[in-house]
Structure 1
Amino acid sequence: MEKLLQCFEYIKRYHVDMLDSISIMLELFIIKNFHPHILTESITLGSKRKPLAQSLNAKIEEIIGQELFIAINPNINFLKILKLIQATDTTLSNIEEFLHIITQKKTSNKLYYYSTPLEINELLVRLLDIQSDEKIYNPCYGIGTLFLMISQILHAKQPNSPIALYGEELDSRLAKVAKLTCKLANIAYDNLIINDILKAPFFEQKFDKIICNPPFSAHIGVEYLKDDKRFKGLHSLAKTYAEWVFLIHALYYLKKRAVFILRTQTLQKSSLESEFMQRFYKQGLIEAIIELPKNIFPHQNADFCVLVLSPNNQEILNIDAKGEHFWKKDGKYNRLVNLNEILDAFFARKENEFCFLMPYTHLTSYHLPLTRRDSEHSEGKTLSALGVEVFRGQRVYGGKNDTRIEYYDVGLADFSEYGFSEEFFTKRSLGDKPKVQKYALKPYDICLSLRGNTPKVTIFSPNIAHKLAVANAGIVIVRCVNPKQAIGLYCYFYSHQGQKALSTLYEHYTKSIDVQSLKSLTIPTDFESHSQERFKQICAFSTQLREVKNALEALRG
């Protein structure tokens, strides 16, 4: 492996484009594996100090074909790289490890968005259980590292069986590398298309198996999807997460089973996805959810999972592979281990210490329980079901309807860190009077910041009853049925569990909160339990903290 990496680093020095360097390595692998006599003859000529650049490039172009060929820089020491290649194991498994290192581990190459970690490739392909007569589709195939795994796994089961591979890729440079990868794996690549799947999907047929690790950072325009039959009623989902686009697109073509890498937060409850999740539920599309360990995708801080889809399932298999048993440290990042245990659990569909089955009939909402603990605590009611009113704050001044009226303009600066808020700092004398009166805050209103890295929450004191105050547009107001419910709900939002639930919503909408999603947030049935005593303690400690701060300030003199 060290020799292959040395060869790649040497070739990089003579080629500006990193993908060209990978292509040249793949070309050399193809020569070594399928035409070893050319390698031997070239080394012999080079040893006799005869020029190699022109003759070897010509032979490689003839074998590779003009469409895929990348010429090796003539200034390279050809004899050096040919000897390195000849002295190295170039089996597909070794080449896979080589590609994993240069794309995933050596992040300075900036290739990690175009490939998938080696063990994740293996997990995805083995989950599909591909048979020789099945058509396989990948809607964003990148540099095609998945194809090496498909070839090895299928040919291990059924030697020499043909692989019917279909795919679409937007970037022609990536497509060229992927086709070279197929050539190396002895897979036909005629149906690997360069195409923008959003503007004009190329294929009209259904596919037996679909595999996809979609781009998570892609900027995707969705303005032309409204009338697209694949995205009917679902085009707005693309504005939230890029992976939803590939998921919706691929489902349109699915026959048997599909596997997707997704950010786990995309499966959390949200009104935006409710229509799509209902479709999942009604068709029993979700076969399994496999939560993956942290830090296995370079430069990605989110939690990830594998979503396995197939028609007409009666239950969802939840596999929690986040624990230390399923990863090992490898440099700066982690690598997935003990794949066989995950796969055994998937195909056996039996519960054990890290997986459980959730019948569709037991799901109480469209929020997917991803772990057993989530399932145990899934009972509860949404804020809407509790009769709670949720609405945005308003800008009530600066328009043509302004008249004289005194009121407080409430913002985050007015939030008490703990317990009741009742002091306001911004007083205005002009505003839209009907709006001011309509949106005036009431005692026991709970307010949350609309945006931020972490949720900021306060509850307004009964003492504000004599004050006219309006929350600005950066605030979301939660108005409860009665004070007892408000205290219970504030204490829930204050708790670690509540903070985590709110944080999920903020992360989902890129550090902001969505009113409709907040209305659909499930609150545990026992949220009022012991809340009065807890809230009294919060207020008491808040008073003590304020007194300590005042005393410290007084010491400044």
Structure 2
Amino acid sequence: MVLSKEQQTKMWAMLNQTRGQIGLTAYKDYIFGILFYKYLSEKATQWLNGVLRGETWGNVFSKDSSRALDYMKKNLGYCIRPNDFFEDWKKAIDEDRFNIGMMSDTFGHFNQQIALEAKSDFEGIFDGMRFDSADLGANAQARASVMISMIELLSTPEFDLSKGEDTVSDIYEYLVKEFSTVLASDMGQYYTPKEITDVMARILTSGREHKETFSIYDPTVGSGSLLLKTASYMKNLNKRGMIKYFGQEKDATPYRLSRMNLMIHGVEYNDININHADTLESDWPDGVVDGKDSPRMFDAVMANPPYSAHWNNKDREDDPRWREYGVAPKTKADYAFLLHCLYHLEDSGRMAIILPHGVLFRGSAEGKIRKALLEKHQIETIIGFPGKLFLNTSIPVCVLILRKNRMESDVLFVDASKNFEKLKNQNRLRLKDIDKIVDTVVNRKEIEKFSYIASLDEIFENDYNLNIPRYVDTFEEEEPIDIVALSQEMVELNQEISNTEQEFLSMLNQLAITDDSRDIIEATKRIFGEGYDKR
């Protein structure tokens, strides 16, 4: 299911009416948290309907609560006690007995009943909701009123999740995008435009769609969209355990959202490995074990890291991620992220990373890193995109595609900066633009004024500068000017102007002389000169 524009508009309008005076920044944590809990409730209800065979969950729980809880945890990774379901909140509202404590108790029970193996997937996932927060209101009654409005909103047909996981994921993705659009400075940094995500995913999976097992990793995971889009092109997407999702995120909000997003898209908790930490400060996954470096490697690595971020680069020369290349400047961590991704890439894998164009030509430490990557033949393709594709920046970005063990040394340059649809405040890649980029990269095509394959010798002659215009000439020559024809046109135009002036002055001479007409004639003389006889 794809939400219609009418559905989207109605959902967002209803949401804004519901939130009252709460700021969107605070509101988003509650709306995403409650929507996700509704999803978990309905998933648990569906599972219970299949295993209880007519018995009620309340009766089973009352007979042996520990055994009942353990059985649900074993199958779902979490457990919901009787009277703690989303529908129980709605029933309490309808019967006028709802209070804010019901929600506090529910999430307290939930956190106590997470399966050990699912701890990292569910732990802290609802921490963005504080039911004693002044953001919700000055007292318990005011806070309960806000929660009631949210629960009732999510109980409307527009937020009906019973039609399947596609519906749930569509609603979730729509809300992430809408909040990111409105709160660009707050959420935009971890929302990657779906068009660039699609380009990266199709390139990373090209030729490997039928691979039985596939591991993917995003060290700046954000909302998880890059992981999900990459996995969507694999033929074994719906086979449990076939695709393993890894990611790391420093900020708490996207760390929660990414896990919600993956599970809402039907990814089983035991296929998810998302860590909450600073990727550059804390290498993960695995890293050094018993004094021996044993990093986990992945079939595909993708990232949209913060651009030119500051980082602590002191005493990093011996870090195995950067040891062979050099350390990125402390004011520009772009290559630190790139080398981290490359370090965790399988020998047969491929990676894609979104970066600002400066990484292609800046010198000093970055120039040395770029030279090392090129001499190891690890940069395969560079794609330049149009500006204004992102929510939180208008700058154009590029995507670098790398592999660890290439025999070829050439680099494919693609200038896709001219191919897009212009919207009111943003630009957007059309499907035909995406298809052209992917086809060019996958088949390594040279297309005039669009792509070019440069040899390492050419790049060496450019002092390892990878600025795309050095290799892809997009200059459009103007048609040559016919000087003779232009001169003749000018002569004819001047003659036409002269004839028109004479006609006008002749008409002016025929005017009767009055004070007003005298003023007109004097003004005309100043414009056209004295070249006529006044009666």
Say which SS state the counterpart of residue 46 (structure 1) adopts.
helix
TM-score normalised by structure 2 residue count = 0.61
Q: Which amino acid aligns with 1:200?
A: S
Residues 318, 357 of structure 1: 8 Å contact kept: yes
Q: Measure, in 2, the Cα distance between the counterparts of 1:167 and 1:121.
A: 16
Q: Which residue of 1 aligns with 2:397?
A: 304
Q: Kindly report which structure 2 residues correspond to 1:387-402, keeping only aligned pairs within 5 A, or say none.
A: none
Q: Which amino acid aligns with 2:446?
A: E
Report the identity percentage.
22
Q: Measure, in 2, the Cα distance between the counterparts of 1:236 and 1:59.
A: 48
Q: Which residue of 2 aligns with 1:259?
A: 352
Q: Deviations over 1:238-278 (max 9, x none)?
A: 33522211112222222211100011121015243332122
Residues 4, 85 of structure 1: 8 Å contact kept: no
Q: Which residue of 2 aligns with 1:101?
A: 178
Q: Measure, in 2, the Cα distance between the counterparts of 1:145 and 1:85.
A: 26
**Alpha-carbon deviation of 1:159?**
5.2
Residue 146 (1) aligns with residue 226 (2)? yes
Residues 313, 328 of structure 2: 8 Å contact kept: no
Q: Which residue of 1 aligns with 2:39?
A: 30
Q: Kindly report which structure 2 residues correspond to 1:126-525, keeping only aligned pairs within 5 A, or say none.
A: 126-129=202-205, 131-154=211-234, 160=240, 162-187=242-267, 188=269, 190-202=272-284, 203=286, 204-216=295-307, 218-232=309-323, 234=325, 236-255=327-346, 256-268=349-361, 270-310=363-403, 311-312=405-406, 313-323=408-418, 325-329=419-423, 331-338=424-431, 339-353=434-448, 354-363=450-459, 364-371=461-468, 374-375=470-471
Q: Deviations over 1:381-427 (max 9, x none)?
A: xxxxxxxxxxxxxxxxxxxxxxxxxxxxxxxxxxxxxxxxxxxxxxx
Say which SS state the counterpart of residue 289 (structure 1) adopts.
strand
Residues 26, 180 of structure 1: 8 Å contact kept: no
Q: Which amino acid aligns with 1:253?
A: H
Q: Which residue of 2 aligns with 1:434?
A: none
Q: Deviations over 1:142-166 (max 9, x none)?
A: 2323344345443686655632122
Q: Which residue of 2 aligns with 1:124?
A: 200
Say which SS state the counterpart of residue 98 (structure 1) adopts.
helix
Q: Which residue of 1 aligns with 2:152?
A: 80
Q: Which residue of 2 aligns with 1:5?
A: 12
In structure 1, list runs of 5 or more residues that go unmatched: 378-495, 497-557
In structure 2, list runs of 5 or more residues that go unmatched: 1-7, 47-84, 115-121, 132-142, 162-166, 287-294, 476-535
Q: 1:66 to 1:264 in 2, by over 3 A?
A: closer
Q: 1:149 to 1:233 in 2, by over 3 A?
A: closer
**Alpha-carbon deviation of 1:40?**
5.5
**Alpha-carbon deviation of 1:322?**
0.7
**Alpha-carbon deviation of 1:205?**
2.0
Residues 198, 225 of structure 1: 8 Å contact kept: no
Q: Measure, in 2, the Cα distance between the counterparts of 1:165 and 1:157.
A: 11
Q: Measure, in 1, the Cα distance between the counterparts of 2:472 and 2:193.
A: 33
Q: Which residue of 1 aligns with 2:124?
A: 67
Q: 1:96 to 1:147 in 2, by over 3 A?
A: farther
Say which SS state the counterpart of residue 238 (structure 1) adopts.
coil
Q: Measure, in 2, the Cα distance between the counterparts of 1:158 and 1:31.
A: 19
Q: Which amino acid aligns with 2:264?
A: L
Q: Kindly report which structure 2 residues correspond to 1:533-552, keeping only aligned pairs within 5 A, or say none.
A: none
More strand by share: 1
Q: Measure, in 1, the Cα distance between the counterparts of 2:100 and 2:372.
A: 58
Residues 32, 86 of structure 1: 8 Å contact kept: no
Residues 211, 258 of structure 1: 8 Å contact kept: yes
Residues 53, 78 of structure 1: 8 Å contact kept: no
**Alpha-carbon deviation of 1:209?**
1.2
**Alpha-carbon deviation of 1:195?**
2.3
Q: Which residue of 2 aligns with 1:51?
A: 98
More deviation, 65-74/210-219: 65-74
Q: 1:376 to 1:13 in 2, by over 3 A?
A: closer
TM-score normalised by structure 1 residue count = 0.59
Residues 316, 359 of structure 1: 8 Å contact kept: yes
Q: Which residue of 1 aligns with 2:186?
A: 110
Q: Which amino acid aligns with 1:356?
A: Y
Q: Which amino acid aligns with 2:98?
A: P
Q: Measure, in 2, the Cα distance between the counterparts of 1:208 and 1:346.
A: 18
**Alpha-carbon deviation of 1:123?**
2.1
Residue 20 (1) aligns with residue 113 (2)? no
Q: Measure, in 2, the Cα distance between the counterparts of 1:369 and 1:6.
A: 46
